[in-house]
Amino acid sequence: MTQLPQSTERKMGLVIDLDTCVGCHACVISCKGWNTENYGAPLSDQDAYGSNPSGTFLNRVHSYEVTPDEGHAQLIHFPKSCLHCEDAPCVTVCPTGASYKRVEDGIVLVNESDCIGCGLCAWSCPYGARELDQAEGVMKKCTLCVDRIYNENLPEVDRIPSCVRTCPAGARHFGDLGDPNSDVSKLVAEREGVDLMPEMGTKPVNKYLPPRPKDQIEDQIDILAPLLAPVAEEPKGFLGWLDKTLEKL
């Protein structure tokens, strides 16, 4: 069994806005591409062009239609990857020490050379955030693009996780959630961000910003309604002349 650090110097993680995510899957593709084509070990695919394709992904998006007791149904797109939990059962359950949590930034990683592919960590993760790479026989998971965020070969603007860099809706944010003055912490406080399944006791670092009720958006549309009303019953000036001219045709 593997020990977790008592505390970490930072708590790097993602903040995902369920209100603005449009379910485009760009983060999924960008994650798969970066981790397969660049510095990371490849994420294998099986039967990619056959009748039963499968593959290893570190980030997936699920979409749900939610019908509240009152009001309209809402379509919620839910991106899911490792949440870099503070009390990560996937680490403590690992028999070889392959799974570990870093003291310097709190990122949970797998040392693939020590992984025996037993799958215990995947069973212990309540979020289904780990995937066994069928070709390599080792466990894979989100690394928060640890090979990007400190990579001085990249321009500074690219030193964030690939999914965050790619999201066209600006629904993904990255930063230190252990620092109450960081942009991500302020965003979580402002939008009342939540933990995923807090009852599991894993203390996830990643946070989700809840979707706003659709009815609030309708109110905003009502506010705009007076601006959309016709400006005059009778056209005047050039429009009045044009109207009369067209009537004569």
As given in the structure block, the two tokens for residue 221 are 């549309």
Q: Kindly state whether residue 22 participates in binding ligand SF4, applying the rule CB under 6 A.
A: yes
Contact residue for ligand SF4 among 19, 24, 44, 151 (CB under 6 A): 24
Q: Is 146 in the site for ligand SF4 (CB under 6 A)?
A: no
Closest distance of CB 113 from ligand SF4, Å: 11
Give the contact letters, 59-88, x = binds to ligand SF4 (CB under 6 A), - = no: --x---------------x-x--xxxx--x
Helices (H), ranges, 85-150: 89-92, 120-124, 146-149
Contact 17, 194 (CB under 8 A): no
Q: Which is nearer to ligand SF4, 43 or 121 (CB)?
A: 121
What amino acid is encoded at 104 in this protein? E
Task: Note whether 139 binds ligand SF4 by CB under 6 A.
Answer: yes
- One-character DSSP codes across 189-234: HHHT-B-SSGGG----S-EEEPPPPHHHHHHHHHHHHHHHS-S-SS
Contacting ligand SF4 (CB under 6 A), which of 10, 11, 32, 130?
130
E strands, the chain, are 12-17, 45-46, 54-55, 60-66, 74-80, 99-101, 108-110, 131-133, 138-140, 172-176, 207-209
Nearer Cβ to ligand SF4 (44/235): 44
Which region, left, alpha or beta, applies to residue 27 given φ > 0 means left and ψ of -120 to 50 means alpha? alpha
Tokens of 52: 């039963």
Q: Which residue from 171, 184, 188, 209 is in contact with ligand SF4, where contact means CB under 6 A? A: 171
Stretch that binds ligand SF4, among 32-40, 63-71, 96-104, 187-195 (CB under 6 A): 96-104
The reply to whether 29 sits near ligand SF4 by the rule CB under 6 A is no
From 220, 221, 244, select the one nearest 234 (Cα to Cα): 244
Binding-site ranges for ligand SF4 (CB under 6 A): 21-27, 61, 77, 79, 82-85, 88-90, 93-94, 96, 98-99, 108, 110, 115-121, 125, 127, 129-130, 139, 141, 167, 169, 171-172, 202
